[in-house]
Amino acid sequence: MLVIIGFIVTFACLFGGYMAMGGNVVVIWQPWEFVIIGGSSLGIFLIANPMKVVKDSLKAMGEAFKESVPKPRDYLDILGLLYALMRELRDKPRSEMEEHVDDPENSEVFQKFPNVLKNQDLLAFICDYCRLIIMGSAQPHEIEALMDVEIKTTTQDKLKSQHALQNMADGLPALGIVAAVLGVIKALGALDQGPELLGKLIGAALVGTFAGIFMAYGMVGPIASKVKIVRMKQVRPYIIIKQTLLAYMNGASPQVAIEHGRKTISAYERPSIDDTENETLGGGAAAETA
């Protein structure tokens, strides 16, 4: 919603200010200039990126518009699940714990946190490292190094779409100049016409420069920045899981380990310690609504 509001403000101020100065908006409407710039940038985007990144870029833009980032409820579910798993790790034999991590969809522990079950990537991350803890042969520093590598890889994968969009934004001003040059070439071909027609053709050519710069810094660039913000927030749950499990492996009690994870959440999004305690002791959102 904030992205849409931002675009409305941008377009209203841009064209409103232009009209207030006495400009004619009709002059700016040069559809073929926009076809040259937009179509060329799209073609270059397809050339430069594999299809997986192209599809992910569309998905990322949708997430940016919808602000698809973890909410306090999601953080509470993650912390609640980790607390329950650490209690099980501490109190239950290895065979029972293996049943939970090998088949989380049918685990009573995981079923209390349906939001986590829906996120297959995050679910696999939790189960993989709980499985390593159950095995008992890996040291905390070894698991930490492995987690760091996986989180780095996950972050890089999530930001590929942002890099692709930013590269597209960086190239738009140059494509605007290309469109303007083509417009000038067309205008030079009409030198034998009247000055009125020649002025219109030159004005239309300059629209290309305007369109390229505006699309770069007023549209695609901001969307790329928003994608980066959203995708970085989507990586935050992995860091929460990492800090919590490492604290547990280093000897912290489940409740103290949860605090290690909670403190990695940004202050303005972080659940309060009371909400976290109620969540961990209450057994999750599913238990509260049951």
- The one-letter amino acid code at 124 reads A
Domain presence at residue 187:
no
pLDDT at 60: 95
Report how far residue 168's alpha carbon sits from residue 193's, in angstroms, rounded to the nearest whole number: 37
The HSE-up count of residue 272 (CA atoms within 13 Å, CB side) is 3
Neighbours of 68 (CB within 10 A): 15
Percent of the chain clearing pLDDT 70 (strictly above): 96
Identify whether 146 is part of a domain. Answer: yes
What is the reported pTM?
0.86
Phi first, then psi, for residue 108 (nearest 5°) are: -65, -30
pLDDT of res. 138: 79
From residue 210, alpha-carbon distances to 29, 171, 172, 195 in Å are 11, 14, 10, 22
Could you identify the residue written with the tokens 């009247």? 194
Nearest to 104 by CA among 83, 87, 90, 119: 119
pLDDT digits 0-9 by tens, 225-251: 999 999 999 999 999 999 999 999 999
d(Cα 272, Cα 249) in Å, to the nearest integer?
A: 24
Closest alpha carbon to 280 in 259, 250, 252 = 259
CA distances to 46, 141, 161, 203, 220 from 42, rounded to whole Å, are 6, 45, 14, 25, 12
CA distance 156 to 241: 18
pLDDT tens digits, 167-183 = 999 999 999 999 999 88
Integer angstrom CA distances of residue 87 from 68, 97, 121, 277:
31, 10, 23, 14
Asked if residue 155 is part of any domain, the answer here is yes
Q: Are the C-beta atoms of 6 and 222 separated by less than 8 Å?
A: yes
The answer as to whether 183 is a domain residue is no
Mean pLDDT of 102-123: 90
Domain that includes residue 131, residue range? 32-161+214-290
| Number of independent structural domains in the chain | 1
Domain membership flag for residue 168: no
Residue 189 lies in a domain: no
If one compares 283 and 86, the residue with the highest pLDDT of the two is 86
In a domain, 17, yes or no: no
Cβ(72)–Cβ(271) below 8 Å: yes
* pLDDT 10s digits, 139-169: 889 999 999 999 999 999 999 999 999 999 9
Task: Look at residue 289 and tell me whether its pLDDT is greater than 70.
Answer: no
Report yes or no on 192 lying in a domain. Answer: no
